[in-house]
């Protein structure tokens, strides 16, 4: 049953991400990825709200927690999870580790994305612009 809950929540999170990102990006005249930025920030806000509700025992049902926190927000954005982990480290006084986590995730994320692009360039001979 838990797998089905996660699958449905993940599908809904994906659809919400695409819908929101597309709508926001179409509403601005800019090449900056405002759609993705809006999704990541909204996901962080929602994760913070839901995590607080879980912590305060307002959202006690394990299946509801899995649906919203793991399934929906996991598919909506993983940025919210990164922010959660960073704040958790900060709250326990691990400021350097929190900073390291942000630098590592963002730095390696950018590097791995670039490496993925370059591997396709090498395999196909086509350059992305």
Give how far the C-alpha of residue 41 lies from the chain's centroid of Cα atoms, to the nearest Å: 9
Q: According to the model, what pLDDT value does residue 128 have?
A: 61
Neighbours of 88 (CB within 10 A): 13
Q: Residue 111: pLDDT band by 50, 70, 90 thresholds?
A: very high
Q: According to the model, what pLDDT value does residue 129 have?
A: 58
pLDDT tens track for 61-75: 889 889 999 999 999
Q: Report yes or no: 24 and 34 within 8 Å, Cβ to Cβ.
A: yes
Q: Taking the domains of the chain in order of start, what are their residue ranges?
A: 2-101
Write down the residue that tokens 């994320």 correspond to: 109
Please list, in sequence order, all residues whose beta carbon lies within 8 angstroms of the beta carbon of residue 14, skipping any fewer than 6 positions away: 75, 76
């Amino acid at each position: 049953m838990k797998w089905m809950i996660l699958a449905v929540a993940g599908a809904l999170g994906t659809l919400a991400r695409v819908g929101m990102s597309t709508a926001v990006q179409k509403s601005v005249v800019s090449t900056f990825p405002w759609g993705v930025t809006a999704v990541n920030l909204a996901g962080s806000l929602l994760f913070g709200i839901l995590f607080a509700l879980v912590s305060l025992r307002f959202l006690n049902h394990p299946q509801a927690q899995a649906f919203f926190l793991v399934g929906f927000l996991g598919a909506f954005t993983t940025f919210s999870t990164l922010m959660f982990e960073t704040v958790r480290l900060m709250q326990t006084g691990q400021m350097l580790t929190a900073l390291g986590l942000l630098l590592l995730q963002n730095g390696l994320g950018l590097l791995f994305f670039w490496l993925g692009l370059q591997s396709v360039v090498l395999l196909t001979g086509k350059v992305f612009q």
